Amino acid sequence: MVSIRPAVSADCVAVSDIYRHYVENTFATFDYDAPSRDAWEIKLGAIVAAGRPFLVAEDEGAVLGFAYLGSFRDKRAYAWTAEDTIYLNPDAGGRGIGSALLGALLEAADPDNVRQVIAVIAATGGEASIALHIKHGFTEVGRTPSVGYKFDQWIDCVYLQRPLG
């Protein structure tokens, strides 16, 4: 049975492996190089220190996916706006895990810390992620054409937003 819980340092190996797949094979992230396990530990610590959730979905001890609320922009005025991130093990799709993670992420967010959640999704290959966010109350607020370049292709981004509280 799949359960969702706060991420711990030991999860960073699985998080790194899951994310590496998307870096190397998809437009879901515009990263060209996958962050190391150590980089994920630093990110986990920073997100938790900021009072924001970083969650994993697991089944029988195996991490099937992760989600977190990171900063949207570094400027102080954006301090109450977060960008969500959700990735699943490629073999874990179609089981409702992404929906469970996003629902738990939004529920775990402190509305005194986060007022708005932004999703930035690659338009190419991002249809399921867009639909998932809309299912959870996000609305499309904009598109930016040809802002990412990966695998010899220009990619548009779709921006979705959802208020908390």
Residues 6+ apart with CB under 8 A from 147: 155, 156, 157
- Name the band, by pLDDT with cuts 50, 70 and 90, for residue 51: very high
- Provide the domain count of the chain: 1
CA distance 5 to 73: 26
Q: 93 falls in which pLDDT band (50, 70, 90)?
A: confident
DSSP classification of residue 26: -
**Per-residue pLDDT for 94 more than 80?**
yes
CATH of the domain at 77: 3.40.630.30
Beta carbons within 10 angstroms of residue 27's beta carbon: 19
Q: Are 80 and 116 in contact (CB under 8 A)?
A: yes
- Tell me 31's DSSP state: -
Q: Decide: residue 78, CB within 10 A, 0-12 exposed, 13-18 middle, 19+ buried.
A: middle
pTM of the model: 0.96
**Distance (Å, rounded) from C-alpha 76 to C-alpha 91?**
39
CA–CA separation, 118 and 133 (whole Å): 10
Across 110-142, b (16+ Cβ under 10 Å) vs e yields eeeebeebbbbbbbbebeebbebbeebebeeee
pLDDT at residue 165 tops 90: no
Task: Give, as one character, the DSSP assignment of residue 103.
Answer: H
> Across the chain, how many H-helices and E-strands are there?
4, 7
> What tens digit of pLDDT does each residue of 101-158 get?
999 999 999 999 999 999 999 999 999 999 999 999 999 999 999 999 999 999 999 9
Give the per-residue pLDDT at 24. 98
Long-range CB contacts (within 8 A, 24+) of 146-152: 148/27, 148/30, 148/122, 150/27, 150/30, 150/32, 151/27
Which pLDDT score, from 0 to 100, does residue 60 have? 94
pLDDT tens-digit profile of 18-50? 999 999 999 999 999 999 999 999 999 999 999
Domain of 95, in residue numbers: 2-163
- Taking only Cα atoms into account, the Rg of the chain, rounded to an integer number of angstroms, comes to 15
